Amino acid sequence: MNETKVIDSSLNCEFCKRSFVKEGNFLRHICEPKRRWLDKDKQSNRIAFQCFVDFFRKQSASKKPKTYEDFIKSPYYGAFMKFGNYCINVNCINISRFCDWLLKGNHKIDYWCTDANYTQFLIEFLKTEDAYDAVKRSIQYCMDLAPEYNLQYHDLLRFGNVYKICHAVTTGKISPWMLYQSSSGVEFLSKLDPTQEKIVLDYINPEHWAIKFLREADTVVDIKKLLKDAGY
């Protein structure tokens, strides 16, 4: 008498539909769709998925929101994951705004992860972001870096490493709001040599910021007092 071997339907991979006879093999099985699902809580995946959702919400006529299942099956998965990892690597200061900027500029997704794009976005973003958010981020950076030089955080611009501070300006960690509206910031800028000035010039465009400060005089008064009270 021939016996038909019955395969336990619970040992079927819900992602790739492969069937397994042994439970151990089933438990060890990791196909690409399953790996993508298991990685869903990683920071890079969360960033990539949110940008994927934003992309299709703005580019597609369909009003149906995309799910994570849609994401892991999408041919764009790799491109969005590359973007998520890029944002982490450059410590992007506002990922949602960066994504919006790329979408509005009709940048092809294959070119989202370029330093040229991020630099252009950052320079534009620094000019328009909320002044209090900018100062908060700048103070936090000073608090994080000052111990490295055994300094009080409000003395970082006075006595910290000039090139490291210049780099912080070019990555948006120290805003022109702090540089132009604090005594220590003005002192820092006055001591820059031509090479150092060239490094930060595009990010602190004096002409633009002079006009901006005139237009936002009330905010300037508040920020200047805030920084002075904090010892900057």
Mean of pLDDT over the chain:
91
Report pTM.
0.83
pLDDT band at 24 (very low <50, low <70, confident <90, very high): confident
How far is residue 135's CA from residue 152's CA, in Å, rounded to a whole number? Answer: 17
Out of 25-34, 161-170, 172-181, pick the least confident.
25-34
pLDDT band at 9 (very low <50, low <70, confident <90, very high): low
Residue 171's φ and ψ, nearest 5 degrees, are -110, 5
